Structures are given as C-alpha cells and as structure tokens.
Amino acid sequence: MSVLDDWTRKAIDELGLDPAVLDQRLILDVARDVAHGVTRPAAPLGTFLLGVVVGQGATLAEAAERLTKLAQEWPAR
C-alpha cells in the first residue's frame, strides 16, 4: 500500500464519501493530461471542476473524457 493510497482512504473517510465514487487512476490521469496539455496549475483546477460536475450528476468517466480531450486539443504554448 502506498502513501497515496493510505491518504486517499483517510480523506474519503474524513469527508464521509463512498469509496465506490473514486477512480484514483482516472482522476490522476486527467490531472496529468491537463498539467501537460495546458499548464501545471490547471491540473488541480481541472480535477476540482471534474468533481463539481460529477457532483452535479455527470459520470466520472464521461467528464474525465471531456476534460482530457479539451487538454489534448489545447493550443501549444
């Protein structure tokens, strides 16, 4: 078990979330794609927005796909 896994489990418990809502790898992949495709500071903002839209009823997979596509299509700096 990694430190990240331990922290994630504790954070889920602390926030009273259902562990089934989390796809750690998918969320980290979105953060990576946004950081590399847009700019590093956009990664936490992108994952926050991902959480907001999922909280409003979108599926995690669909929202992640949309953000990843947006990051991949972002004009090169």
What pLDDT digit, counting tens, does each position of 14-62 carry?
A: 999 999 989 999 999 999 999 999 999 999 999 999 999 999 999 999 9
- Residue 30 near residue 67, CB atoms below 8 Å: yes
50: CB partners within 8 A, 6+ apart: 27, 30, 60, 63, 64, 67
In the chain, where does DSSP find H-type helix? Answer: 3-15, 24-37, 42-55, 60-73
Integer Cα distance of 63 and 2 in angstroms? 27
pTM, two decimals, is 0.90
CA atoms within 13 A on the CB side of 3: 0
Confidence band for 77, pLDDT divided at 50, 70 and 90: confident
